[in-house]
C-alpha cells in the first residue's frame, strides 16, 4: 500500500501535465491566424446583439423583479414562465384576429419571419438558450413564438391610431383592457429582457400592407411604438431616426435624441473632474433661478445668465423600474451611450432631501406623482444611482462647473438673500425704501444742525 502512493502521485502529475499541455496547444492555435477570425466573429456578435439578460451583479444592487415582466412575455427569454401563461391565450387570439382581418395567408407571415429568423436570433446573442437553436424543431418553435408575439404587439400599437374592431368587453383589447391591462403591458415592453426586435414588426407590417419592407416603414413603426408608450419624436427628428432595435431602444432614443446633440469625445479639462454640484436648495440660495426646459429631452440641461434649465420629469410608480432597465441597457449595449445614466447622477447630486424635491417640483422640473417628497428624494439620492458611473459628458460637466463657481462667490449669496428678504414682498420693499429715506433725512438733519454750530465759533 505504502509503495503505491509515489506511483499514484506520478500518475496525477502526468494527468495534470497532459491537461496543461492540451490547454496550451489549444491556446496556441487561437493565438495564430485563427484567432483573428474568431475576434471578427465575436465583434459581429457583439454588434448584432441588442437584447440582454441582466447579469446578477446588476440585479443584486436593485430589485430583481424590476427586470422581469409582470404580465406578458415578449420574445423567448421569459416565454413559458408560469405566471405569464394566462396571456398566451390572448396573444393567440390577437394573431388569429389580425390574420382574418388582413386577408393574408398565415403562410406569408411565417415566411416573412423565417426570412429574418437568423437576424432575430442574433439580436438575443448568446443569451438565447439552446432550445431555440439547432434542429428544425427548435427553429420552428422560435419562429412560432416570434410570429405570435409580434402579431400581438402589432395589434396593440395599431389600436392607438383608432382601429377598434374588438368587442367592447374584450378583457385585453376592449375598454376594460385599455384601463387595466394596457398600462402593465406598456411597462413590460420597457423591460430589457422582454424585448422584440422592431425588425420583426416591420416585416409583419409589410406583409399586412402587401408592400416590400421599405425604409419608409421604419418611421411608421417607430411612431406607433412611441405613441403606444406615451412618447413622441418631433416629425423632423422622426425622419432622421433609423428603425429602433426594439421598444426599449426607441423609447430611450426619444429621451436623449436631438439634432446636433452628439458630443465630441474630447478629453475633459482637469477642472471638470472635481466640481461638486450643489443641491437644489443651495442653488436657490445662491440666487440661481431654476426653470423647466422647453423640451423633455434629457440633453436639454443648460446654465446661462444665472438660470439653470432642466427637462421636466414625471415621477410615478413605474419610474424606478423603467429607469433601471434603461440604465441596464446603456450599461450592456455599447452603442447606446450613457445620457440617461448621467442624468440620474445629475439628479442625485442636486437632490439630497425632501426639501430639494419640493423646490424642483415648485419650479416645474419634477412632477411628483408618488405624493411623498421623501420617497422621491430616496429614489434619486440612492436607489437609482446605486452602482451608476458618470460618463464623460462634457455638457453636464460644464453645467456643473459653472453652477459650482457661481455658488462659491459670496456676493451671489448676499445678493440673493437681499432680494429674498426685501424685494420679494412689496411691503418689505416699501419699508426698506422708507427706512432709507428716513436714514438719509436724519443724516441731512444732523449735518445741517452741526454745520451752523461750527460756523458760529470764532
The position carrying cell 406598456 is: 186
Cα angle value 291/430/438 (rounded, 5°): 140
pLDDT digits (tens, 9 = 90+) for 79-91: 999 999 999 999 9
290 and 166 share one domain: no
C-alpha distances (whole Å) from 336 to each of 49, 239, 332, 339 are 12, 19, 9, 9
Question: Residue 382: what pLDDT?
Answer: 79
Local confidence band at 52 (pLDDT 50, 70, 90 cut-offs): very high
292 and 395 share one domain: yes
As a whole number of angstroms, the distance between CA 231 and CA 223 comes to: 9
Give the side-chain half-sphere CA count within 13 A for 44: 8
Q: How far, rounded to the nearest angstrom, does the alpha carbon of residue 342 sit from its chain's CA centroid?
A: 10
304 and 236 share one domain: no
As a whole number of angstroms, the distance between CA 25 and CA 30 comes to: 9
Domain boundary among 225, 256, 287: 256
| Three-state DSSP state, 291 | strand
31 and 117 share one domain: no
Report if residue 417 sits inside a domain. no
Report if residue 48 sits inside a domain. no
What 8-state DSSP symbol labels residue 154? Answer: H
109-118, 186-195, 267-276: the lowest-pLDDT one: 267-276
C-alpha distances (whole Å) from 262 to each of 176, 303, 388 are 43, 18, 21
Question: Residue 25: what pLDDT?
Answer: 74
147 and 77 share one domain: yes
As a whole number of angstroms, the distance between CA 151 and CA 203 comes to: 11
Report if residue 235 sits inside a domain. yes
Domain boundary among 199, 231, 256: 256
Report if residue 399 sits inside a domain. yes
Question: Residue 384: what pLDDT?
Answer: 85
Report if residue 123 sits inside a domain. yes
Distant-in-sequence, close-in-space partners of 193: CB < 8 Å, separation ≥ 6: 51, 52, 53, 54, 67, 68, 69, 77, 78
**Percentage of the chain exceeding pLDDT 90:** 55
Report if residue 83 sits inside a domain. yes
357 and 431 share one domain: no
pLDDT digits (tens, 9 = 90+) for 23-41: 777 777 777 655 555 555 5
359 and 215 share one domain: no
Check whether 119 has a pLDDT greater than 70: yes
Q: Which of 54, 12, 30, 47 is nearest to 326 (CA)?
A: 54
Number of compact structural domains in the chain: 4
195 and 88 share one domain: yes
> What's the whole-number mean pLDDT along residues 250-273?
63
Question: Residue 151: what pLDDT?
Answer: 98
As a whole number of angstroms, the distance between CA 72 and CA 85 comes to: 8
Q: Which of 400, 406, 385, 392 is nearest to 275 (CA)?
A: 400
Question: Residue 7: what pLDDT?
Answer: 58
287 and 393 share one domain: yes
What 8-state DSSP symbol labels residue 270? Answer: G
Grid cell, residue 164, equals: 377598434
Name the pTM for this structure. 0.83
289 and 204 share one domain: no
Report if residue 262 sits inside a domain. no
Question: Residue 266: what pLDDT?
Answer: 46
pLDDT digits (tens, 9 = 90+) for 328-373: 999 999 889 899 999 999 999 999 999 999 999 999 999 999 889 9
* Average pLDDT of the chain, as a whole number: 84
119 and 243 share one domain: yes
Question: Residue 440: what pLDDT?
Answer: 74
Domain boundary among 203, 230, 256: 256
337 and 382 share one domain: yes
Check whether 411 has a pLDDT greater than 60: no
Beta bridge partners of 308: 290, 303
Question: Residue 400: what pLDDT?
Answer: 87
Check whether 109 has a pLDDT greater than 50: yes
Question: Residue 263: what pLDDT?
Answer: 45
Domain extent for 434: 425-456
Report if residue 3 sits inside a domain. no
Question: Residue 397: what pLDDT?
Answer: 84
Question: Residue 457: what pLDDT?
Answer: 55
Local confidence band at 219 (pLDDT 50, 70, 90 cut-offs): very high
Amino acid at each position: 500500500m505504502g509503495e503505491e502512493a509515489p506511483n499514484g502521485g506520478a500518475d496525477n502529475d502526468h494527468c495534470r501535465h497532459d491537461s496543461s499541455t492540451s490547454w496550451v496547444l489549444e491556446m496556441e492555435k487561437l493565438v495564430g491566424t485563427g484567432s483573428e477570425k474568431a475576434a471578427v466573429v465575436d465583434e459581429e456578435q457583439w454588434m448584432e446583439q441588442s437584447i440582454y439578460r441582466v447579469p446578477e451583479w446588476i440585479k443584486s444592487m436593485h430589485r430583481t423583479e424590476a427586470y422581469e415582466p409582470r404580465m406578458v412575455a415578449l420574445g423567448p427569454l421569459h416565454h413559458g414562465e408560469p405566471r405569464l401563461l394566462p396571456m398566451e391565450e390572448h396573444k393567440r387570439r390577437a394573431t388569429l384576429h389580425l390574420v382574418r382581418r388582413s386577408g393574408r395567408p398565415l403562410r406569408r407571415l411565417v415566411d416573412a419571419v423565417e426570412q429574418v429568423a437568423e437576424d432575430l436570433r442574433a439580436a438575443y446573442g448568446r443569451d438565447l438558450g439552446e432550445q431555440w437553436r439547432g434542429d428544425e424543431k427548435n427553429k420552428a418553435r422560435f419562429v412560432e413564438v416570434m410570429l405570435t408575439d409580434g402579431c400581438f404587439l402589432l395589434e396593440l400599437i395599431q389600436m392607438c391610431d383608432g382601429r377598434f374592431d374588438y368587442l367592447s368587453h374584450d378583457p385585453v383589447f376592449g375598454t376594460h383592457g385599455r384601463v387595466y391591462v394596457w398600462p402593465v403591458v406598456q411597462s413590460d415592453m420597457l423591460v430589457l429582457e422582454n424585448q422584440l426586435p422592431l425588425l420583426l414588426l416591420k416585416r409583419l407590417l409589410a406583409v399586412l400592407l402587401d408592400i416590400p419592407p421599405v425604409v419608409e416603414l421604419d418611421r411608421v413603426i417607430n411612431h406607433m411604438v412611441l405613441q403606444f408608450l406615451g412618447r413622441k419624436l418631433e416629425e423632423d427628428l422622426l425622419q432622421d431616426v433609423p428603425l429602433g432595435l426594439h421598444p426599449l431602444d426607441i423609447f430611450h432614443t426619444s429621451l436623449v435624441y436631438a439634432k446636433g446633440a452628439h458630443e465630441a469625445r474630447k478629453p475633459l479639462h482637469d477642472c471638470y473632474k472635481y466640481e461638486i454640484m450643489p443641491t437644489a436648495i443651495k442653488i436657490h440660495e445662491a440666487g440661481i433661478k431654476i426653470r423647466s426646459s422647453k423640451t423633455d429631452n434629457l440633453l436639454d440641461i443648460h446654465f446661462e445668465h444665472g438660470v439653470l434649465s432642466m427637462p421636466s420629469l414625471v415621477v410615478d410608480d413605474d419610474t424606478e423600474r423603467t429607469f433601471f432597465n434603461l440604465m441596464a441597457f446603456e450599461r450592456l449595449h455599447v452603442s447606446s451611450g450613457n445620457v440617461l445614466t448621467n442624468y440620474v447622477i445629475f439628479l442625485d447630486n442636486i437632490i439630497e432631501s425632501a426639501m430639494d424635491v419640493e423646490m424642483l417640483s415648485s419650479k416645474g422640473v419634477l412632477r411628483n406623482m408618488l405624493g411623498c417628497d421623501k420617497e422621491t428624494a430616496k429614489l434619486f439620492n440612492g436607489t437609482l444611482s446605486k452602482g451608476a458611473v458618470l460618463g464623460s459628458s462634457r455638457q453636464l460637466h460644464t453645467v456643473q462647473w459653472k453652477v459650482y463657481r457661481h455658488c462659491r462667490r459670496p456676493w451671489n449669496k448676499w445678493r440673493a438673500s437681499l432680494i429674498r428678504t426685501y424685494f420679494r414682498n412689496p411691503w418689505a420693499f416699501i419699508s426698506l425704501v422708507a427706512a432709507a429715506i428716513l436714514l438719509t433725512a436724519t443724516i441731512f438733519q444732523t449735518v445741517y444742525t452741526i454745520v451752523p454750530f461750527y460756523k458760529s465759533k470764532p
